[in-house]
Each structure stands twice: as structure tokens, then as C-alpha cells.
Structure 1
Amino acid sequence: MSLINHPCIICCRPTSMWCSRCQNAWYCSPEHLQSDWPRHRRECIPTNAPQPQYPNMIATPPPAQAELVSVSALLFMPHEDRVKVTTVQCRPQGTISQGMCPTPLVQDWFTESVPNTIILTQGLNGEPLRFPLHIWYCPTSLQRGSPVNRAIYRITSGAAQKPWCGPVIVLKFNGSRRQGYADAGTNDLPALSAYFLAYK
């Protein structure tokens, strides 16, 4: 099979190597394919044709997306009297150097609607929290007549101005820049209790 040299998408150097997945993009090295993958993946449609292995094919796709990250979170379930520490999986976005916060996969706890979020940046007496808290809750639980969240009722001794209903999940950011999550735990309860008490 005679091959015509094409310009590399990255450096325009003549090459006879192509993306093995779509067979429509030309690269002079696997490194150039890997560096172009964030852009190329949006247009890389796998060919249905059988793909015999030629020595000039560059294997794709490049390294798989980053694996899910697990963090501990506080879970307030409406029918339970006590808060639980649970594990939440987070899907990374972009690269670490881009400083994008992972997306928590919390939808399993909010099957009836899309959750809202609140970021708590102040603790007791209004002092700034070194690690802000990310609160996920169901905005329609009260309207649907969901039961009052017993775990929140308990930590506020029933004195909250607004009755919290439905599940509530709390994650803790790993710093004020909010680029990731750290493990939340019971030491975060005083700030949460003060917030639940004051929320109108």
C-alpha cells in the first residue's frame, strides 16, 4: 500500500501516520496525537471499516479519562435521626493544572429533581471557613410535602427557621479556591448547624 505524506496537525511536518480510531487525522508522533486529543476527541468518529494493523497507525484513543475520585461527605437523610458519613464519587474535569473542580455524582440521592447547591463560606460568629462547605439539597422537597429531615431537625434541636426536607449532602472543599474536595466529617457539624438554624 503506497502512502502519501500529509502534514501533521500539530507541526505540519510531513507524515504518513494517522489516528487509528478515525483514520482522518495525521500526526508525526504519538506525543502530538496525545497533546491534540482534547480537541481531536470531539471530531474523532470511529470508522466502521475493519482496521488492519499498519506500521504507520498511531493507536488511539490516548490515555483514558481520569478515574473517579472518592471523598467523604455528610449525608442527612429525612428518615434517619443521625447524620452519616458516606462516600461520594467525583468526576474530574479538565486537568489538575486547569484548576477545575471535579463534579460530585450525587444524583442517586436526588431522584425526583435536580439538586440545588449552596456554598457555605462562613462558620460560627461569621468567621470565614478555611474549607468552604458545599451543600446539595432538593429545592422541591417542601413543596411536594416531603417529610422534615429528622437528622437536621435533631442537630438544630428543632429550632431552625426553615424546615429542611428531603436529603441533604455536604461536601467540603479542599481550600478557599474550591478546586477540589477534601473529606468532610463530624467536625464540620457546628458550622452546618449554625447555617441550618439561620437559613430563612
Structure 2
Amino acid sequence: MKKFLFLLIILLSFNTVLSLDIYNCGILGKGNTIYVLKNNIFSSGKTCIEIVASNVTLDCQGHKIEGVGGPHSSYGIDIGTSNVSIKNCTITRWSMGIYFNGSSGSKIEGNQLENNIYGIHLMYSSSNTIEGNQLENNIYGIRLEDSSSNTIEGNQLENNNYGIRLEDSSSNTIEGNQLENNIYG
């Protein structure tokens, strides 16, 4: 019986998901972790949040990640890994609000992205879900480049130059989005 309990404790410890509070910009590098933003962040740096580990959730709890609207290559949230969830964030005044490069199996949901050049930009990414986000006053609301098999649904895109733009991308599902007052769909 003691051996069984010991083995059970060891097995359960491998599937533990940590929860960490964050208060500033930085690198999120611990996998199997839920990061919870506890306050608004203002940054004049090139990248505010960089996610470098897989199996990460960032829950902003409605808090804002705000840039200065400056350099052409600034990132509110920069993701170069897979199985990431970004939710409940307000992201404003960046070149790229949320940027996925080579990501798969990730989800962007319930965020507000406004006054960015790119609200959400996926490059070389597949099998991701973009759902229930509000994108306003960006140059590109959602842009997919060389990306396939992604799902874009239930988003509201208003007053962007491009609501949803796909370049060299295939087999993506786009349904149930509300597009209003964008120059191009």
C-alpha cells in the first residue's frame, strides 16, 4: 500500500500545472504554467511578453498591455512555441499585438486588440484557434501568412484597414465573424 501511494504521488507530480502571478514585461519560460497578469503594463521596450515555453496560458484578467506605438518591430506578446493560450488581454499601441511564429495547437480567445499595426499576426503557424476577440482600429485586424488549418471564428473586427487578411495560407476555417467598417474584408 505504501509503495502504491508513493508511486501515485510521483505520477501526479509530473502532471502539475503551476500558477504564477506576473506584474511586468518579461520572458515566460516555464512550461505547464498558467501566468496571471495582476495589473496593467506600459512598456516602451521592443517586446513586452515573450513566451518561449510550450503548454503556457497567459490570463490577463482584463488588464492592459500597452506600448508606445513606436518602432515597426515591437511586440505586445511574441510567441515562438506551441500549445499556448492567450486570454482576457487588452493589447494596444504595438506593431504586432499578438505575434505567433511557427506555433501550433494554440488559442487566442476573449482579447481586445486596438490601435496596433497588426492586431493578431500568425506566420508559419498551423492548427491554432482565434476565437471571440475584439479587434478595432488596427491596420490589420487578423493576418495569416504562410499558415494553414487555423480556425478564426466569432471575432468582432471593426474600423481596421484589413479585417482578416490571408497570404499564402490554405485550409483555414473562417466563420461567424462580425466585420464592420473595415476598408477591406
TM range (shorter): under 0.3
Comparing both structures, which one devotes a greater share of its residues to helix? Answer: 1
Relative contact order (C-alpha < 8 Å, sep 6+): which is higher? Answer: 1
TM-score by length of 2: 0.26
Greater CA radius of gyration, 1 or 2? 1
Comparing both structures, which one devotes a greater share of its residues to strand? Answer: 2
